[in-house]
Amino acid sequence: MNSDPCTEDRLAIVCPLCSCNSSQLLFRARSWESFAQDQVYEIRQCHKCHIAFTSPIVSFESLKLFYSQGLYGNKSNRFHILIEIAQQIFQWSRLRKITRVRQRGKLLDIGCGKGRFLAYAALHGWDVYGTEPSENSRRIACSTLKGRIVGNLKELPMEKFDVITLWHVLEHVSTPVEMLRQLHPYLKPGGVLCVAVPNLASWQARLGKSRWCHLDVPRHVFHYTPETLQYVLDLSGYTILHIDHFSIEFNPIGVLQTMLNSLGAEPGLIYALVKRNISWGIAKNKLRFLYSAIVAIVGIPFLILPALLFAYIESLFSKGGTILVYATPIELGQ
Ligand SMILES: [Zn+2]
């Protein structure tokens, strides 16, 4: 009897990490972008490497639409002042996590977006660089960090960094091992790689399942757990130093939005409200919009504290909605 699950001819769906063609369906989920809510994706788990992935994987061309609209679009934020205050808190929180491993030094942020984190770090004495594939985001980042932001690693001067950060980037990447290996030469000896991703093994993910806010299909190719992220880091030549299980930026909002989704509100309602992607005028289903507005007005003030408490407690049990992994390259001969 053959014990290798990959030789069993069950499904023609191939794991994008290890190419095993045997996987199990965990559940189905819809995109919460309003232009794609009729599209259903499967969240599958590979029988060989155990990583969870989105199926089918969406083509690069189709994904461009998902990155140019909705949450990733360029509409200005509603509640501008409040968002700015929140953004400052989030950047402070990110830098605080980084200063646990280095007080100052050279920092590279992969997928730096509009450069908010890098600008904040630069203000606090860090020598910063960033890569950002989106031309529009890069242009905005360059306006404050001139000469420090490039489109990809190849355009970067061959610098060595004390810290390299990937804030919610790796789950979007279809070849994570290749990408992480490419970062090796950019780290100084003893340098630290910081990778933040949503945690599919969190309590909020397990309870929310297809309604979990941080699934974000089809943009998220992989859905990591601490174990599968460790596997990917092992394959890429890194060893984990520490895992942080709480993020004020991502974990409470993950619980709150998952609660709202479970109440039948518009998926991704909070982000949609902030990004002006939802209004009476553009809502396709007016009844759904009205219901979502009531759920938001009545529900959010009541649910915000329980969401914060839940997010904090799950992190105490190492089951936080997102994780930040600190890793360092395994030296040759080690
Ligand atoms: Zn696999």
Structure tokens at 298: 């009545």
Residues with CB under 5 A from ligand 1 (ion): 15, 17-18, 20, 46, 48-49
Neighbours of 103 (CB within 10 A): 11
Distance 237 CA to ligand 1 centre (A): 18
Q: Who contacts 104 (Cβ-Cβ below 8 Å, separation ≥6)?
A: 125, 126
Neighbours of 75 (CB within 10 A): 12
Candidates 106, 236, 102; CA nearest to 158 is: 106
Residue with tokens 């990809």: 152
| pTM of the predicted model as reported, rounded to 2 decimal places | 0.88
Per-residue pLDDT of the chain (334 residues; tens, 9 = 90+): 445 555 444 447 999 999 999 999 999 998 877 666 678 999 999 999 999 999 998 877 777 766 766 555 555 555 577 778 988 999 999 999 999 999 999 999 999 999 999 999 999 999 999 999 988 889 999 999 998 999 999 998 878 999 999 999 999 999 999 999 999 999 999 999 999 999 999 999 999 999 999 999 999 999 999 999 999 999 999 999 999 999 999 999 999 999 998 998 877 777 766 665 666 666 667 787 788 888 888 888 999 999 999 999 999 999 999 999 999 999 754 4
Angle at 83 between CA 81 and CA 86, to 5 degrees: 110
Distance 179 CA to ligand 1 centre (A): 17
Q: Who contacts 318 (Cβ-Cβ below 8 Å, separation ≥6)?
A: 226, 243, 245
What residues pair up with 322 in beta bridges, in sequence order? Answer: 198
What is the rounded distance in angstroms from the CA atom of residue 15 to the CA atom of residue 1?
23
Nearest 10 degrees: CA dihedral of 281, 286, 291, 295? Answer: -20
Domain residues of the chain, as ranges? 72-247+323-329
Distance 25 CA to ligand 1 centre (A): 13
Distance 241 CA to ligand 1 centre (A): 24
Distance 54 CA to ligand 1 centre (A): 12
What is the rounded distance in angstroms from the CA atom of residue 5 to the CA atom of residue 150?
42
Q: Tell the CATH topology of 72-247+323-329.
A: Rossmann fold (3.40.50)
